[in-house]
């Protein structure tokens, strides 16, 4: 059987892992699309995306348009004479003119069990909602937002301690597995694709920076999920003496306390405990302004007064 001519589109490390899987399996990837290089680091030097780095290592042609809507982009893609386009966390909208180019259409690896969590932030939204299970869906792309027919799914459990990075790693493995399975028998999976039930869908909106602020009037489990969902991208934070304090690790306290929300009600060597709207949260790891992440134990050795009992975090969100 003749190998399919595949074009891959993706940008972050999550996508790069899927590109690696295709190349390792010997699929014929003829070109790669990724977002334009972005300034990064203290020097703000242009940085190639993880997908571009993998493509260059394998001497694959790389295309980096800022939009796929111009007619020229459709013509460029058509000139590649591809059978299939595989899209993983690309970050650009594919208009119908692009979707129609590959002979077998465009497949998307989406990090949720569709139709749940259509949209830009399925991993964070699953954690924030307290979902017990997530997964990956291989979808035949159409013009809608993650509305295409589903070829296959791969489920993963969400543990009570998983943060965004943990869950992304699980979903990456699940996505590689599901994509490999699909490509090994593509005709079967495409012919058996299942239409999504729109009534069961919900939207995973991009997580805004304002959502990282901790409102201590929420319940301890809600705040715990907020902290875990923010790790690595949009860390949860509170205000202490008008200074931002990132909360990087916490857990729901087993103790019973009666105090105003946002007040430290207990202080131990390895953690301090904050009263919430209901319940309390033990905090084990933080990041002070201008400092590297550190354990509460390490900070307490030099500044024991910082998280002492009775200290209260500001409740007013900064503008």
Rounded CA gap, 220 and 62, in Å?
Answer: 46
- Residue ranges at the known binding site for (6S)-5,6,7,8-tetrahydrofolate: 112-115
3-state secondary structure of 174: helix
How far apart (Å, rounded) are the C-alpha atoms in residues 237 and 230?
Answer: 9
Residue 6 CA to residue 61 CA, distance in Å, equals 12
Contact 52, 64 (CB under 8 A): yes
- In 3D space, the residue among 19, 201, 180 whose CA is nearest the CA of residue 122 turns out to be 201
Rounded to a whole number of angstroms, the CA Rg of the chain reads 23
Rounded CA gap, 207 and 204, in Å? 8
Nearest to 127 by CA among 173, 176, 168: 168
Rounded to an integer, what distance in angstroms lies between the CA atom of residue 142 and that of residue 60?
27
Binding-site residues: 112-115
Local structure of 186: helix, strand or coil: helix
- Sign of the alpha-carbon torsion through 240, 288, 12, 35: positive
């Amino acid at each position: 059987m003749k190998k399919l001519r595949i074009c891959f589109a993706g940008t972050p490390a999550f996508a790069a892992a899927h590109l690696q899987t295709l190349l390792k399996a010997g699929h014929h990837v003829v070109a790669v699309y990724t977002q334009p290089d972005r300034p990064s680091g203290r020097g703000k030097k242009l940085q190639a995306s993880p997908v571009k780095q993998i493509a260059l290592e394998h001497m694959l042609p790389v295309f980096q348009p800022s939009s796929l809507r111009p007619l020229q982009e459709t013509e460029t893609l058509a000139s590649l004479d591809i059978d299939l386009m595989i899209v993983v966390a690309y970050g650009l909208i594919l208009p119908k003119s692009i979707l129609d180019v590959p002979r077998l259409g465009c497949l998307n690896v989406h990090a949720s069990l569709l139709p749940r969590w259509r949209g830009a932030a399925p991993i964070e939204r699953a954690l924030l909602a307290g979902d017990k299970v997530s997964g990956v869906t291989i979808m035949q792309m159409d013009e809608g937002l993650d509305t295409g027919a589903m070829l296959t799914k791969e489920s993963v459990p969400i543990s009570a301690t998983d943060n965004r990075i943990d869950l992304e790693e699980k979903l990456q493995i699940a996505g590689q597995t599901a994509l490999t399975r699909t490509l090994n028998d593509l005709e079967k999976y495409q012919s058996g694709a299942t239409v999504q039930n729109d009534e069961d869908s919900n939207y995973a909106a991009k997580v805004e920076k304002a959502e990282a602020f901790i409102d201590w009037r929420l319940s301890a489990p809600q705040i715990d999920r907020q902290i875990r969902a923010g790790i690595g991208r949009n860390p949860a934070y509170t205000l202490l003496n008008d200074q931002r304090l990132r909360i990087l690790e916490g857990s729901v306290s087993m103790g019973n306390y009666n105090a105003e929300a946002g007040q430290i009600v207990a202080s131990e060597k390895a953690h301090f405990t904050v009263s919430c709207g209901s319940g309390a949260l033990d905090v084990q790891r933080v990041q002070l302004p201008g400092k590297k992440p550190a354990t509460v134990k390490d900070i307490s050795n030099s500044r024991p007064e910082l998280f002492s009992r009775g200290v209260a975090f500001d409740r007013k969100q900064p503008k």
